[in-house]
Amino acid sequence: MTTDIAAEAAAITAGLRALAPEPTAVPIIRTSRPFYGARVGDLRATASGWLRGHRQAAPAAVAALAERLWQAGIREEQLVACFLLAGDRAALAATDPERVRGWCALLDNWETTDQLGMNVLGPLVALDPAARFGLLQAMAGDPWPWTRRTALVACTRLARAGDAARWWPGVAELLLALAGDHQAALPKACSWVLRSWLGPCPAEVAAFVDRHAGRLPALAVRETMATGSKRPPRPAGRRPAPAGRR
pLDDT value, residue 148:
98
Mean pLDDT by 10 residues, the chain (246 residues): 86 86 57 85 96 96 97 95 97 96 96 96 96 97 97 96 93 97 95 96 96 96 80 40 37
pTM confidence score = 0.86
Is the sign of the CA dihedral 238, 239, 242, 246 positive or negative?
A: positive
Type of residue found at 8: E
How far is the first Cα of the chain from the last one, in angstroms, to the nearest whole number?
Answer: 60
pLDDT value, residue 231:
40
Tell me the CA distances in angstroms from 129 to 59, 136, 161, 195, one per residue in order: 21, 10, 9, 20
Backbone angles phi and psi of 4, in degrees to 5: -80, 95
Type of residue found at 26: V
Distance CA 196, CA 174 (A): 15
Type of residue found at 85: L
pLDDT value, residue 28:
60
